[in-house]
Structure 1
Amino acid sequence: MGNEGSLDPKKYYNKDQLIKAYTQMLLIRRFEEKAAQLYGMGLIGGFCHLYIGQEAVVIGIQSAMQSQDTVVTSYRDHGHMLACDMDPRGVMAELTGREGGYSRGKGGSMHMFSREKNFFGGHGIVGAQIPIGAGMAFAHKYNNDKGVSVSYMGDGAANQGQVYEAFNMASLWKLPAVFVIEDNQYGMGTSTKRASASTEFWKRGEPWDIPGREVDGMNLFAVREAAEWALERARSGEGPALLHIKTYRYRGHSMSDPAKYRSKEEVEKMRNDHDPIEGIRSYLLDNKMASEEMLKDLEKQIKSQVNDAAEFAQVSPEPQESELYTDILIDN
């Protein structure tokens, strides 16, 4: 099936819930902008993949999830961490390789976790997180905890073989799994139209009887509607669901990518006409759910929170040499 249903924002969010969703999206945007600054200053090493432009995807899905549900994602993961309510201080400290980070400075951008928040990584290998997500779904079913495993991947990962092995197992055993393809229209430096024989990714589950939906990922309400459908299907025992969420990243694939394979006009048009945060901001104002003054105060609070995270990251000490020998063996 394609994109179905009629959108009624009030069906999914009351005033307080929508302001919270807007706040979370804005936090992700400002956090990523600060991360870009720290990267430019040489304080973040290695790879750094920003989530700017895609905020409605993770917030729309996360707002429909339950506390026992689990998340696993790829290397474009900072937004997912913040959506799971991980502490911005701990995330930023990990980006800068400091002891106060979620992996005590050893994981960096692509490898930090929070068992407490049911966030099981960032993973650097393209598509490798999807079999892990299927395994987490198996654990939910085995433990009968009514939880759902939500696994995110990019459009590039949708062409990887291990993804379809995971689809087969998840469907065969009717696992409570939701697979999310965040299609931001470009792989590392290549348009999906050049890399995929078919860009109708929502159909990719059909050989395994996994229904899919195509979703406007720049529209928070559209994402929330699709997420509720997918999560309910998985939670009720019907098996996995697939969401093809069409979104857009404003920055390059990573901080080292100048993104010369697309025009500035294309990016500006997406920013001006489809920005997910501006869309919710306008909705809040038009429906008198918030005032300009309130939203300005909110912006100040978020900037202060992000600056605090950056300051914490810079004063947190580097890991001790002894950390080289931790987290490498489980002694039963």
Structure 2
Amino acid sequence: MGRSQNTFQVFPDTVFGGPYTIDTVGGSPNTNTGDGVWRFHTASGGPNDFVTAPAQEGLHAVAVHQVGWQEQFDTPFGVTLGGASVAPSAVDITSPTDSGAFDVTFTSSVDLDGLSAAAFGLSQPTTTTETATQDDPDDPSSASLKRDVAITNAARLTASTAMDTDDIDLFVVRDANGDGQFTNTEIVASSTTPASDESVELIRPADGAYQVWVLGWGVSGNPKFTLSIDAVQGTDLTVTGAPSGPLPAGTPVTLSLTYNRAMTPGESYFGALQLGPPSAPAVLSVPIRITRS
């Protein structure tokens, strides 16, 4: 948690209780699929988790929220806190050609058992205007709007909705068994607030067929809403330079990236460089945007 705006200030010209509050700036993925059900997930896939957040001026706090356990409620654990820097922290290039190269430098203040680096992209998000209708609020599969998404080598899949009225819910479903059917048991992420601005994100989603469901939970009439789907995926970016073996604290690593894709002049294409120890290779992400001039 890190510095956030104090929206509870009663008197704007008088500091009461503190000049700011702290709010979530990073954390493990929210895997609540509804009805109090949490899917097991850590960055490493096992009992160790890695979380990153942007460093900023002011007070920070680290909180651990236990959502799943086995056999015993009292389990000792340890927390290690350190820093890492990536330069540049974001890549924004305007290119006169369809190919090019750039470097990124990574440094960690803690020892790592290695450094994994993977590049994804280049791709483009989609934003459409849709119509909401009333569905069965107790059955996500009754969603009247379903959009297919094919995932191949993706850094993340993000879906969101925006509407000023009513209540719609958002689900992401993966056809895990490959039978061509999408069912409630295959829901991998959801956002079910009592409003209509919903958002879900999957990090390193497995390749395969997905659907985005928008469920009309409490809808009057046929209001319009915005649906955004962003799958940062593809093999147009490659990265080299990751070291083999452990990485001592304070050791800078320069990674070289190249891109090659037929792009339309005037349009932007997006990718990502994901970094981390081998057990958690996606804890750091460098957003990449390449605009074809």
TM range (shorter): under 0.3
Q: Which has the higher strand share?
A: 2
TM-score, structure 2 normalization: 0.23
User: Which protein shows a greater Rg?
Assistant: 2
TM-score, normalization by structure 1:
0.21
